[in-house]
């Protein structure tokens, strides 16, 4: 499935080509657009914190990323849109979960 990943302003920061994995985690490749550049250092810092096993720093960065209000639009060509949680864009690709609608709980 392909999703356009957009920021809070509605700018497309990239395209994710993903498969659904365990616990509804979607993972796959990511093709950034020029609008991704301002966010690249944030995701690089998250990847580095995860590599260095600095859990508190990684948690802080995840909260910061979640606070940016990233959304997935698709799967393409459908026009649906959903907020993202646990978005990680690394040198190896992308992973995220679609946030459930208000009032619904995500699968554990």
| Full pLDDT tens readout for the chain, 108 residues | 899 999 999 999 999 999 987 678 899 999 999 999 999 999 999 888 887 777 788 888 888 998 999 999 988 776 688 899 899 999 899 999 988 766 555 444
Q: What is the pLDDT of residue 44?
A: 92
What is the 3-state secondary structure of the chain?
CEEEEECCCCCEEEEEEEEECHHHCEEEEEEECHHHHHHHHHHHHHHHHHHCCCHHHHHHHHHHHHCCCCEEECCCCCCCEEEEEEEEEECCEEEEEECCCCCCCCCC
Predicted local distance difference test score (pLDDT) of residue 103: 55
pLDDT of residue 108: 43
Q: Where are the domains of the chain?
A: 2-98
- What pLDDT score was predicted for residue 88? 94
């Amino acid at each position: 499935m392909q999703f356009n990943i957009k920021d809070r302003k509605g700018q497309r920061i990239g395209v994710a080509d993903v498969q659904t994995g365990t616990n509804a985690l979607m993972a796959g490749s990511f093709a950034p657009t020029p609008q991704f550049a301002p966010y690249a250092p944030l995701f690089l810092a998250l990847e580095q914190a995860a590599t260095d096993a600095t859990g508190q720093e990684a948690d802080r960065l995840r909260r910061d990323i979640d606070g940016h209000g990233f959304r997935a639009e698709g799967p393409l060509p459908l026009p649906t849109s959903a907020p993202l949680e646990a978005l990680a864009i690394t040198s190896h690709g992308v992973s995220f979960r679609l946030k459930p609608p208000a009032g619904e709980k995500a699968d554990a």
